[in-house]
Amino acid sequence: MSILQLRWPHLSIRSTVLLAIAVAVLLPTLMLWQVEQRLARDTQAPLIDQGRQSTLTIAASSMVEPLWSLDEPAIQSALRRLLDSPGVDSVRLTEKNNPLSKPVMLVRPGAQQGQGVVLSTRISREGEALGDLEIWFDPHQLDAALAERSRATAMLAALQVLVGAMALLAVLTYRLLKPIQQLKQQASDIASRIDVPPVAWDRADELGQLGQHLNDVHAQIDGLFDQLETQKAELEKIALHDGLTGLPNRALFRELTRGAVASAARDGGKLALLFIDLDRFKAVNDSLGHAAGDALLLEVARRLKQGVRASDVVCRHSGDEFTVLLRDTNLLDELAATAERLLKAVEEPVALDRRDVQVSASIGIALYPDDAQAADELMQHADTAMYAAKHLGKARYSFYRAEFNQQLQATMQLERELKQALARDEFVLHYQPQVSAADGRLVGCEALIRWNHPQRGMVAPGQFIAAAEACGLIGDLGAWTIRAACAQAASWRAKGTNFGSIAVNVSALEFRHHRLVDTLTQAMSDHGVQPHELEIEITESVLMTDTDTTQRIVERLHALGLRLAVDDFGTGYSSLAYLKRLRPSKIKIDRSFVKGLPDDENDCVLVRAVLQLAGAMGISVVAEGVETPAQQHFLRQNGCQVLQGYLLGRPMPPDNFAGRAQHRVDEPAVMSA
């Protein structure tokens, strides 16, 4: 393991400080002890040698007189005293002046004879040798002296360490550990958000400064938490309320509805949920802009709140949709009166951009527990009833009925099949001839889409166009129609078929999208279609939505050289100003006005007026729904240029139309009429 991988053990401050004290006290003591031992050995060794020499000298001096007088008892006594001297293990005396005596040898108990450090000297008097004295000293005398000194030094060091540690520990406890414990408690109080007063710190050291800093931090944290609580409340309000109207949003309304359903289930009460959708709101947004649309939504929200009780809940569901939860609704008559009141409140004109704007609403009503047992189911059924109210003509309310679900399921199934039909290329175009009223010459045709359903056979557009618009497929369907019509024009041209021009219907939703121009440009380029071979038909609802987008698209169509025809003219209350501004090349009189010709005087007056107006503006007129020779004759006599209807030819497949295009469409008998 490398040095970098070694880690300092996890110790508390108390243990760390105690360890530091021990190291700080013991380490110098040990170092001092080592130095002292070395010095002691250096100083004690000469002293011991000197003491041994002195002992030898003194002993020799004390032996002179007994040896001179041959006093054996005195000699023995002197030797025993010498043996009692510190460090002496054994002594031996050899007398020189008494040849008959034997050497005297004395040994200290426990010592070995003749071992150790030996010193010897000759004892003499007046030049006469009296004897030889040998002294063996303890070889461990120096070590024993040093060991004794070490024990004394160690005891002194231990006492010093003990006293120092106790003093330092007392200072540590009072000046460090107790304040740290206070700081720890103070930090815990801050972390636990306990409402405690600031800690009073009367000390001026670093810990006191830290404690005061924690007091400041505590105050700042309290302020931050108060700010966060305020922001949290604001965020919850934003998350649960609509940013524009301030009404509860869908999420909050769902929870409120669930709570109301639970209370009603417990108490046996009844609830009503109203699903409100504004009619024609998109037209306001498109014509006046989103700022005006927002102002309209604000006013509608205010009126809806005023139209219900304080205990009821009004919510902005999404876009131009609102929901209302009515509590304690036991009488259907009162509920119907509330719905009528809300409808009238919404229909009141609203002043926007110095203009009075008026919208209506469609309301679906579902009841708890009659129609649903759960909040989500109640919302779904009210939504279904709202769509039923729209299908009945808008600007009305409708109570939920079980058969609405069947209709909704059928609509959803139709939408799924439409998506599959586009993917499988199940659509075809049929072409209805358009002929000159003057001579019966073929001048063009109208491309009419059909759905070649694998089970139901050929399905007319009236059965699926509305569903395509509702589910957002109308754009894809319109793009397919344009491409198919351009491909058919190229095919007919290649075969030499004189088809005139093909009129393609474009829905209002499709016309307001810039993708229309791109689709037309690409399809014409891919198939080499010339502008005079293609004609765009729009309904009067497009004219009624006079937006900048509509105007720009019309200008781009004119720039492409395409002719513009207004379909179903006379049914949408068109403004003549729109005709002047958009300058269509053709208008088509709706079949509802042609049907009564020539017997219905009102239809005759209206048709003549349209023909005269169009003639004055240089606009060509096509009459739709021509089914009798009398209708044909009236229209020709009054200056209608082009005729279209079953009398002149039904919508037919491309090959059949090509066969009819080889000769005049109208028969002589019809023309003579």
pLDDT band at 100 (very low <50, low <70, confident <90, very high): low
Helix (H) or strand (E) holding 363: strand 360-368
Q: What is the mean pLDDT of residues 441-454?
A: 93
Q: Quote the pLDDT of residue 433.
A: 95
d(CA 538, CA 404): 32
Do 241-400 and 413-672 show the same overall fold?
Answer: no
Residue 266 corresponds to which amino acid?
A: R
Angle at 616 between CA 612 and CA 622, to 5 degrees: 55
- Which residue bears the tokens 């089914």? 627
Burial of 202 (0-12, 13-18, 19+ CB in 10 A): exposed
Would you say residue 11 has pLDDT above 60? Answer: yes
CB 384 within 8 A of CB 405: yes
* DSSP at 97: S
The class level of CATH for 241-400 reads alpha beta
Q: What angle do CA 339, 344, 345 make, to 5 degrees?
A: 95
652: confidence class by pLDDT, cuts 50, 70, 90: very high
Nearest 10 degrees: Cα torsion 368, 371, 374, 378: -90
Instruction: Give the pLDDT confidence score for residue 485 in this predicted structure.
Output: 96
pLDDT tier, 544 (very low <50, low <70, confident <90, very high otherwise): low
pLDDT given at position 263: 92
Which positions ≥6 away from 395 have C-beta within 8 Å?
279, 343, 347, 360, 361, 362
Distances (CA, A) of 435 to 189, 416, 534, 623, 648: 94, 38, 16, 10, 8
**632-641: per-residue pLDDT in tens?**
999 999 999 9
> 551 pLDDT exceeds 90?
no
Per-residue pLDDT for 32 more than 80?
no
Give tens-digit pLDDT for 221-243.
777 777 777 777 666 667 788 88
Third-level CATH fold of 413-672: TIM Barrel (3.20.20)
pTM greater than 0.75:
no
Mean pLDDT on 428-444: 93
Which of the four pLDDT bands, split at 50, 70 and 90, describes residue 5? very low
Return the closest-CA partner of residue 516 out of 560, 490, 553, 545.
553
Output the pLDDT for position 653.
94
What's the pLDDT band for 673 if we cut at 50, 70, 90? very low
How many other C-beta atoms are found inside a 10 Å radius of the C-beta of residue 596? 15
User: What is the amino acid identity at position 258?
Assistant: R
Long-range CB contacts (within 8 A, 24+) of 285-294: 286/512, 286/545, 286/547, 286/549, 287/545, 287/546, 287/547, 288/352, 288/353, 288/355, 288/357, 292/352, 292/353, 292/357, 294/244
* DSSP assignments along 443-479, one per residue: EEEEEEEEEEETTTEEE-GGGTHHHHHHTT-HHHHHH
Identify the top-confidence range among 333-342, 383-392, 408-417.
Answer: 333-342
Instruction: Read off the pLDDT of residues 163-202 as tens digits, 9 standing for 90 and up.
Output: 777 777 777 777 677 777 777 776 777 777 667 777 777 6
Strand 88-95 and strand 586-589: the pairing is: unpaired
Domain boundaries, the chain: 13-143, 197-234, 241-400, 413-672
DSSP 472-532: T-HHHHHHHHHHHHHHHHHHHHHHT----EEEEE--HHHHTSTHHHHHHHHHHHHHT--GG
Report the pLDDT value the prediction gives residue 668, as an integer from 0 to 100: 38
**C-alpha to C-alpha distance for 405 and 228, rounded to whole angstroms:** 47
Question: Collapsing DSSP states into helix, strand and coil, what is residue 394?
Answer: coil
Say if strands 321-327 and 313-318 run parallel, antiparallel, or are unpaired.
antiparallel
- Give start and end residues of each alpha helix (H) in 173-311: 178-191, 206-240, 250-267, 281-288, 290-306
pLDDT tens profile 493-512: 999 999 999 999 988 777 76
Q: How confident is the model at residue 329 (pLDDT cuts 50, 70, 90)?
A: confident
